Amino acid sequence: MTKSTKRKYFGTDGIRGRVGEAPITADFFLKLGWAAGTVLTRHATGKKRVLIGKDTRVSGYMFESALEAGLIAAGVDVDMLGPMPTPAIAYLTRTFRAAAGIVISASHNPVEDNGIKFFAADGYKLPDEVELEIEALLDQTLVTNGSNHLGKARRISDAAGRYVEFCKGSLPSGFSLTGMKIVLDCAHGATYDVAPKVFKELGASVITLGNQPNGFNINDQCGSTHTAALATAVLDEQADLGIAFDGDGDRVLFIDDQGEMVDGDELLFIIAQHRHRLQGGCNGVAGTLMSNLGLELALAEMQIPFTRTKVGDRYVVEAMKENGWHLGGEGSGHVLCSDLNTTGDGIVSALQVLRAVVDSSKPLRELKSGMKKFPQLMINVRLPGKIDISDDQEINQAVADAEQKLAGRGRVLLRPSGTEPLIRVMVEGEDSVLVESSARAIAEIVERRVAPVKS
């Protein structure tokens, strides 16, 4: 009999949901810690050790304790890192030679949500077969080891300092941001402590927003999902630019000196263009189905290969590995430089952009002007549950009508979110008026078709 490949709990980016609603509950995380610890250390040749980091959500304390108990029950030693960016956990998992790293976070989601991500010993996300092994064990009874075979827990006090040095070390020796004025928005999240240190120690004058987490204000009208306050601060402070991270620090967006956003596609272009001009160059870029057509065309002008994957950083990483490329990402600001870290790293990616700014002696707004973005509009339609709309004739006809109007000079994409009950309706094309009218027309039909039937 073939083993089922359908995952019950894991999505495209770990397990995520509303706190207090299954599976984001304390009892589930206890058992998940035991199951994950058992599976992830099964083939460990050295010490059975797992790292745990988290963002700043109030629920993180509860889930941290539950995971710790489950892992210890399975005989696994636990290193507690406290609030740390997701990419820091990936890096520290490798440097501590741990069997795995665990992040408690719901990334850019509101405080009401939480979730969990796993990194294997090599710092990459878990392969599907390992996630399936963990899920299979969740159906079994939790067995607590006897006292002589329990794990131990300890706090790692220098984790933040190690990561700060790693980030600075991603730049050439002697690189300096002296003379540059930067506004940082840390989203009251996991970068609130380490990010200001990195940029200050590199010589920048730093104004910091979103660095007062209280357990409840993560991503609340701040960070990479809400950049209005950052744009205002950049203009008020007459700063060179602003940088916005999300709650767990794996995404980054910029604001230029005119208060305009520079999104993930534009950041990818700036890094690729800079690397193209350096010795060794840029051998390719992986984007997703949502990547702006302007990025593809700008890369083509430099003869840099480009490929699209399904949405989700795990698919981008797979394409990068397959092609031997070091650069990829998404418009949301999830930028991957795999020659520097194994996962999206907001601080490291931001430093790569700043390296391009410093080396070129050009402002950010000028660097991004080399890529002409196509107008693109995405509308999120909330679903009452898991609904498959792929065979809905009325929705498919609306998409076909929009594609006919775009006449081969644009795209229409309907995609279910991997982390929330949403359908994302995206339309892209040369004519912004047509793009907006088409996206709204399709979204209205989708919303009507998925609306729950009233009795």
163: Cβ–Cβ under 8 A, 6 or more apart, which residues? 84, 85, 88, 91, 92, 194
Q: What's the full length of the chain, in residues?
A: 455
Angle, CA of 53, 54 and 59, to the nearest 5°: 140
408: Cβ–Cβ under 8 A, 6 or more apart, which residues? none
Single-letter amino acid code for the residue at 100? A
Whether residue 437 lies in the annotated active site: no
- The token duo for 330 is 């998404």
Identify the CA nearest to 237 among candidates 294, 314, 183: 183
- Give the separation between CA 183 and CA 255, rounded to whole angstroms: 9
Single-letter amino acid code for the residue at 98? A
- Give the separation between CA 405 and CA 429, rounded to whole angstroms: 10
Convert 204-242 to b/e letters by CB count within 10 Å (16 or more is b): bbbbbbbbebeeebbbbebbbbbbebbbebbeeeebbbb
Output the DSSP codes for 166-194. HHHTTS-TT---TT-EEEEE-TTSTTTTH
- The token duo for 259 is 């208060």
4, 59, 105, 107: the catalytic one is 107
Q: How far is CA 123 from CA 13, 131, 144, 247, 267, in A?
A: 14, 15, 28, 20, 24
Q: Which residue has the tokens 């004519």?
A: 431
- Give the separation between CA 254 and CA 263, rounded to whole angstroms: 7
Q: How far is CA 30 from the centre of its chain?
A: 25
Output the DSSP codes for 135-173. HHHHTSPP-PPPGGG---EEE-TTHHHHHHHHHHTTS-T
Q: Which residue has the tokens 């509950």?
A: 25
- The token duo for 389 is 């709309």
Which residues are known catalytic residues? 107
